[in-house]
Structure 1
Amino acid sequence: MPGGLVALLDDISVIARVAAASIDDVGVAVGKAGTKAAGVVIDDAAVTPSYVTGLHPSRELPIIAKIAQGSLKNKLLFLLPGALLLSWLLPQAITYILILGGSYLAFEGAEKVLEKLGGEKHGKTLEDAIDDPAKFEQERIAGAIRTDLILSAEIMAIALNEVATQTDSFWTRAIALAAVGIAITAIVYGAVALIVKMDDVGLHMTERASTSAQAIGRALLKAMPILLTALSLVGTIAMLWVGGGIVLHGLHELGLHAPSDLAHGAQHAVEEATGAFAGVAGWFTYAAISALVGLALGMLIVFVMHKVLRMGHGVGKEAEAH
């Protein structure tokens, strides 16, 4: 009996060590995957506030909550099972999906650049007359969730690509991807909620009796327009930077090394020339080149989507009329 008890305790200790090792594997995989996806997370956090900017303050948090729910559904119900199935059946397809997602981000970023330069706007904006506020709100929520689907797909694909190098265990991959999805959603939409309610906090503080609280409140109110403008700029740059970087890396993985090698060559040259600032300067150089690649690719896609295809659609209509 004592021998049986000792054997049982030994088995339990082995199971506990295996479980602890699995948890540690998940933690390492989540940390590395989250770091790799950081650029897309910045993009997500910078883009989302634009979907509630200008709407009634009472609708801001409910809209963010609905977008966050849609984001979780995107990640856990659609993308997580799809990513795991893909990693099992066709792992080589992950690179192509990353390139497609990066190209979409470059396209979105290029559209925003053209709009800022006075080009054609796509879709209804807050500058247009809104006939049905409820319908407009639903359209903005749907648009945000669609954009989130692309960004979440990139996050999950990047995370899967990183997790796959850390572990072969199906369940470790599943738990790690779910943890990445939940953590990133909480961080992004928690940050967005704080950003869009900053003006309300500032207004409340200006009504306090304390002089210092009033001063902080006025500073927050003055900072909000600047912050939102900066976020819009950061969001556009992040789309181009992340999209271009993903495409460069994907092409390298597929055997087309020249574009990535040129970008890394410029990065290393700057690092050698900048001494103590090598890390920051090198990173900035590669990010800038990635953004330029994203802008060039995005402009090409915009031209094809809005000029070539539209022209072809117009010719088709004329042929039908005759």
Structure 2
Amino acid sequence: MTVAEEVPSGTDAEVLRQALAEVRRVIVGQEHMVERLLVALLARGHCLLEGVPGVAKTLAASTLATVVGGSFARIQFTPDLVPSDIVGTRVYHPASESFDVELGPVFVNFLLADEINRAPAKVQSALLEVMAERQVTLAGRTHPLPRPFIVLATQNPIESEGVYPLPEVQRDRFLFRVRVEHPDAREELEILHRMSVKPPAPRPVLDPARLAALQDLAEQVSVHQLVADYVVRLVMATRVPGDYGIAEMADTIEIGVSPRATLGLVAAGRALALLRGRDYLLPDDVRDVAVDVMGHRLMLTFDALADGVAPDDVVRQILTAVPPPLVVWNQGRR
């Protein structure tokens, strides 16, 4: 990959920090989740938020939509939902004796799929074209979705009754899977003080046009060849761990991550670098997003699952085993 001349990005980074600060004015704690939501947005990726009820997953998604600007829709996924409820359908008008296409609620900039694992597989599969191609095909016609477009989905990982686990092919469509934990005691007290009176309302900081420009800028972040090679080594370590000094992982990993993980590590790393005020990618950026990009794409063996091995821990072991390169940037040149 070629290295572009360094361009000033302080103003863009400042705007992004303002957007983060505005979301954090509403959301107490959950720093990791809030940052990952903005990074996924800059990287044109989708984000799956996984956590128990009441940890501000839905509030964070709706707050980000308000801060960034653009249209927003929330779909509460339920077992009786059908695909036409989300993508649209053909409607017959007796007066004109003709069919018209009624577009569904997915035609927005921000789509919140709340409790996505409560809907059956047929409904979940209806999102595949939406997430991958950002379009919907109805009655033989293709309808493009608004740009920018992002799916923010939530699910409860501890519930087992009345839920439909996401298939691997759909999990692979999400750039991030972010685990959302309970707040600590200090944050819990701050939630009580902040939300027991009139809750703060978010204010818009960006608009869709500025956001699209920032997404284009994130794609221009330079990637050193050594960093690109590091990304590939991390991915290959999940497929042939013996070649990277972790042969014991062969009994833990059933199937390694897909090429989408390779692209996702670079895209998410670029967005994080832009957020940090740089126009070049560092190995630390890749390492910071690796667990959220790769964890949900790993398929573990039956024995590993029976032993309670967590995919995120496997990714952390790979990060320890595969050393990052030493990359020195000097005025945008290698």
TMscore range, shorter length:
under 0.3
Higher RCO structure, 1 or 2 (CA under 8 Å, sep 6+): 1
TM-score (norm 1): 0.26
Normalized per residue, the structure richer in strand is 2
Q: Which has the larger radius of gyration?
A: 1
